C-alpha cells in the first residue's frame, strides 16, 4: 500500500501550538472594543474584530516574524497559519497570513491545495481573502507560473471566495502589464456571476489591467458593452478622464 503523502499539517509541532496560544493571548490583550465597533461598517455581514489599529498590528507581526523566521521553515508557518485561521477574530487570522507570507521563498505549488481548503472553510470575508491573495497567492504565482492553471480552475468554483481569489491574485500582475491575457479571460468569465463582490473584483482587475494599456481596456469594454455588469464597469473606468468615463458609460448601455 502506498503511503499517503505527508503535508505540513500532518507534522506534530508542539512549538506551533504554544506560539499560536501566545499570539492569541497577546492580540486579545491589545483589543480596543470601541474601535472594533467601527470595523463592522466595512462589512455587509457580522464579523468579529479586536479593534487593533493597522500600525500596531503590523508592528506586532513584524516582531513575531523576526523571532520565527530564523528558527522555522515553511511547514511550521503553514501549521501556525492553520491554527490562527481557526479563530474568529479578523486580526488573529490576518496575523497568521502575514507570518506565512514571510516564508514566500519556500513556497511550492502544493501550497494551493491548503489555500483552496482555507478559502472554502476559513477565509470568509473579502478583507481576509484579498489579504491572503496579495500576501501569499500572488508571490506564489510569481515563483511558480504553473499556478495559472489553478486560477483558471478556481475561476469556475462554486465557492465565492475561491472565485474571488482567482481574480484578486492577478491584480499585482495586471497593474504591471503582466498576465493580461489571463486577466481579461477570467474577468470575462464573471460577467454572469451572480455575486456583487465578484463584479467588484472583476472591475478592480480590469482597472489595474488598464494602467499600462488603457487602449486595450477601452476596446475590451466597448466590445463587450452591455454584457458587463454596471458595478464592474464603474470600477474598471475609474482611471479614465471624466469625458471618457461618460462616453463609455453611454456606449456600453443596453
DSSP string, 3-21: PPPP-GGGS--HHHHHHHH
Q: pTM of the predicted model, to two decimals? A: 0.92
- pLDDT at position 169: 98
pLDDT score at 10: 52
Quote the CA–CA distance of 227 and 201 in Å, as a whole number.
16
Confidence at 46, pLDDT banded by 50, 70, 90: confident
Distance of alpha carbon 210 from alpha carbon 203, whole angstroms:
11
Greatest Cα pair distance, the chain, in angstroms, is 68
Contacts of 157 (CB under 8 A, 6+ apart): 163, 166
Say if CB 47 and CB 40 are below 8 A apart.
yes
Dihedral (Cα; 76, 78, 81, 86), 10-degree rounding: -110
Q: How confident is the model at residue 254 (pLDDT cuts 50, 70, 90)?
A: confident
Q: Residue 1: pLDDT band by 50, 70, 90 thresholds?
A: very low
SS3 191: helix
Whether the Cβ atoms of residue 236 and residue 206 lie closer than 8 Å to each other = yes
For the residues 43-57, what does the mean pLDDT come to?
A: 90
Are the CB atoms for 39 and 51 separated by under 8 Å?
A: yes
Give tens-digit pLDDT for 85-116: 999 999 999 999 999 999 999 999 999 999 99
Task: Name the band, by pLDDT with cuts 50, 70 and 90, for residue 140.
Answer: very high
Question: What is the Cα–Cα distance from 166 to 182, expressed in whole angstroms?
Answer: 10
pLDDT at 252 over 60: yes
Residue pLDDT, tens place only, 190-249: 999 999 999 999 999 999 999 999 999 999 999 999 999 999 999 999 999 999 999 999
Q: Quick one: which of 76, 87, 79 has its CA closest to 25? A: 87
Tell me, what's the pLDDT at 113?
Answer: 97
Residue 77 to residue 247: CA distance in whole angstroms = 49
**Distance between CA atoms of residues 235 and 199, nearest Å:** 9
Helices (H), the chain: 14-29, 33-39, 54-69, 74-84, 90-101, 111-121, 126-132, 138-143, 147-154, 160-168, 171-175, 180-189, 196-209, 214-224, 230-236, 242-251
Can you say whether residue 225 is alpha, beta or left, with left for phi > 0 and alpha for psi between -120 and 50 degrees? left
In Å, how far from its chain's centre is CA 53?
20
> Is the torsion defined by CA of 150, 167, 126, 76 positive or negative?
positive
| pLDDT at residue 215, as a whole number | 97
What 3-state class would DSSP assign to 129? helix
What is the per-residue pLDDT across 11-35, written as a single tens digit (0 to 9) for each? 546 789 999 999 999 999 999 999 9
Amino acid at each position: 500500500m502506498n503511503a499517503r503523502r505527508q503535508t505540513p499539517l500532518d507534522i506534530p509541532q508542539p512549538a506551533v501550538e504554544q506560539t499560536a496560544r501566545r499570539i492569541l493571548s497577546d492580540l486579545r490583550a491589545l483589543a480596543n472594543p470601541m474601535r472594533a465597533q467601527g470595523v463592522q461598517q466595512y462589512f455587509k455581514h457580522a464579523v468579529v474584530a479586536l479593534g487593533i489599529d493597522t500600525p500596531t498590528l503590523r508592528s506586532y507581526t513584524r516582531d513575531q516574524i523576526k523571532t520565527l523566521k530564523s528558527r522555522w521553515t515553511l511547514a511550521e508557518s503553514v501549521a501556525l497559519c492553520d491554527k490562527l485561521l481557526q479563530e474568529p477574530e479578523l486580526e488573529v487570522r490576518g496575523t497568521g497570513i502575514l507570518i506565512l507570507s514571510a516564508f514566500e521563498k519556500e513556497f511550492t505549488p502544493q501550497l494551493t491545495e491548503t489555500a483552496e481548503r482555507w478559502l472554502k472553510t476559513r477565509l470568509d470575508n473579502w478583507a481576509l481573502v484579498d489579504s491572503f491573495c496579495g500576501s501569499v497567492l500572488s508571490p506564489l504565482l510569481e515563483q511558480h507560473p504553473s499556478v495559472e492553471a489553478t486560477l483558471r480552475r478556481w475561476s469556475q468554483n462554486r465557492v465565492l471566495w475561491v472565485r474571488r481569489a482567482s481574480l484578486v491574485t492577478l491584480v499585482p500582475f495586471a497593474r504591471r502589464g503582466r498576465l493580461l491575457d489571463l486577466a481579461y479571460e477570467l474577468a470575462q468569465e464573471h460577467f454572469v456571476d451572480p455575486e456583487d463582490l465578484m463584479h467588484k473584483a472583476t472591475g478592480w482587475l480590469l482597472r489595474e489591467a488598464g494602467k499600462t494599456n488603457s487602449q486595450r481596456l477601452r476596446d475590451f469594454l466597448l466590445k463587450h458593452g452591455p454584457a458587463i455588469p454596471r458595478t464592474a464597469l464603474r470600477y474598471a473606468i475609474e482611471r479614465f478622464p471624466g469625458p471618457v468615463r461618460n462616453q463609455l458609460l453611454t456606449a456600453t448601455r443596453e
